[in-house]
Amino acid sequence: MNLTFSLKFVIIAVIIIISGCNNVNTSENKITPADPETQSTSSPTITPYEKEAQVIAVGDIMMHLAQTKSGYNPQTNSYSFPTFFSKVQPILSQGDWVIANLETPLAGEEAKYTDYPMFNAPDTVADDIKKAGFNIISTANNHSLDRGEIGVLNTIKNLQKRDLITLGTYASVEDKTKILTVEKNDINMAILSYTYGTNGIPLPQGKDYLVSLIDQKKIIADIKKAQAEKVDIITVILHQGSEYQRLPNEEQKTLVKNLVNEGADLILGSHPHVVQPYEIFEIKEENGKIRKAVAIYSMGNFIAYQIGNYKDLGVIFKVKIKKHFPDGETEITEVEAIPTYIQNYNLNNRLNFRVLPIAETLKNQNDPLISPQQYQLLETYLKDLNNHLNSMNR
């Protein structure tokens, strides 16, 4: 093959290749604007997520005269009670809604500080209640009217000026007719509070709004009103039951069951001054879903000067609430009951008081204010209360 022929062959091959490249169909590589009529109109997908908040509740905060005297400072002629809640403050601080029943008026010094059967305590105890972590105080109980109308009004004022939310007693019709709702972590809770009575002390004529009394029809109407406001969860505080009885009576159980069936999610009981069990309910709703509700019939005494026969025991009741987004469904996910003990002890020639979380106290048995015999007693109390609290769910 001569060089001239080879060069001609290469030139022809190059021409064929270039020609082939120019004839490639590139229509598949063209970008054509989408037809607006064919574009998707669906909303962007929201990734499901959850939020949680926790209710922490305790029973009766009472102020017997020995407790009042324990907080007196003669140098300043004032009262403070820093020991009362110092040992339980770390637990209380974990809550979002932290609730207690204050079973004494804070009517003012001019009304005199007194003991049972007609209580009145220094309003400075509210400072220690606030410091402990409480933010919601129920004042509907059988001692609400111990200092009459002025006692009710002063108690509300003395609590609210410390930014504590109050319910159960009211300064006006308008206040009583409102449904109290408190939102925490995007979960909106309605809270209602009622007492069985006021120790026979009548409400002033025309002022039934002062104290919210237990009336099943009225409570159910309030629950329906709360539901209409689209709250996520409904809590009902009930001051009722037989004093010093460790099990709920039939009246308690019937009312609780009826309220749960009507939409109450959490019921917090007080008044018997001893701890009564809690009960978990599962209610089948009209849509076929199961709703869990919880009721503790009595949380006992949180702090008081009542000794023996389980009267110096209480409970910190913890309930975790979870809300699902974006559908907004809310559920109770965890329930825990922490037994507590009211210790009274002598220090510096004075009787003092404090609330002890029993299990935590038993972990490190090195408190100089607790004797070996008392530690043994606390172990017995803890075992007994843990069995007792859950006895209605077996």
Specify the pLDDT at position 36: 46
* Phi-psi group of 244: left, alpha or beta (phi > 0 → left; psi -120 to 50 → alpha; rest → beta): left
CATH topology of domain 49-393: Purple Acid Phosphatase; chain A, domain 2 (3.60.21)
**C-alpha–C-alpha distance, residues 61 and 304, integer Å:** 7
214-241 confidence digits (pLDDT tens) = 999 999 999 999 999 999 999 999 999 9
**C-alpha–C-alpha distance, residues 112 and 131, integer Å:** 25
C-alpha angle 136-137-143 in degrees, rounded to nearest 5: 170
**C-alpha–C-alpha distance, residues 54 and 294, integer Å:** 14
- Cβ burial 172-191 (10 Å sphere, 16+ → b, else e): eeeebeebbebebeebbbbb
**pLDDT higher than threshold 90 for residue 1:** no
Question: What ranges make up the beta strands (E) of the chain?
Answer: 49-61, 72-73, 78-79, 97-102, 136-138, 165-167, 180-184, 187-195, 233-239, 266-270, 275-284, 290-299, 301-303, 313-325, 330-347, 350-357
168-209 confidence digits (pLDDT tens) = 999 999 999 999 999 999 999 999 999 999 999 999 999 999
Mean of pLDDT values over 95-101: 98
Task: Specify the DSSP class assigned to residue 120.
Answer: B
With cut-offs at 50, 70 and 90, classify the pLDDT of residue 43. low
Q: Which has more confidence, 287 or 160?
A: 160
Specify the pLDDT at position 46: 83
Closest CA to 272 of 255, 250, 248: 248
Mean of pLDDT values over 2-6: 41
Q: Which two tokens stand for residue 167?
A: 């319910």
**Helix (H/G/I), strand (E/B), else coil: 104:** coil
Q: Which two tokens stand for residue 174?
A: 């308008």
Q: Among residues of the chain, what percentage have pLDDT more than 90?
A: 86
* Contact (CB, 8 A) for 267 and 294: yes
Amino acid of residue 111: A
Specify the pLDDT at position 348: 87
With cut-offs at 50, 70 and 90, classify the pLDDT of residue 41. low
Q: Among residues of the chain, what percentage have pLDDT more than 70?
A: 89
Q: Supply the mean pLDDT for the chain.
A: 91
State residue 194 phi and psi, 5-degree precision.
Answer: -150, 155
Q: Which two tokens stand for residue 37?
A: 């009529």
377-392 confidence digits (pLDDT tens) = 999 999 999 999 999 9
**Helix (H/G/I), strand (E/B), else coil: 56:** strand
Q: Where are the domains of the chain?
A: 49-393
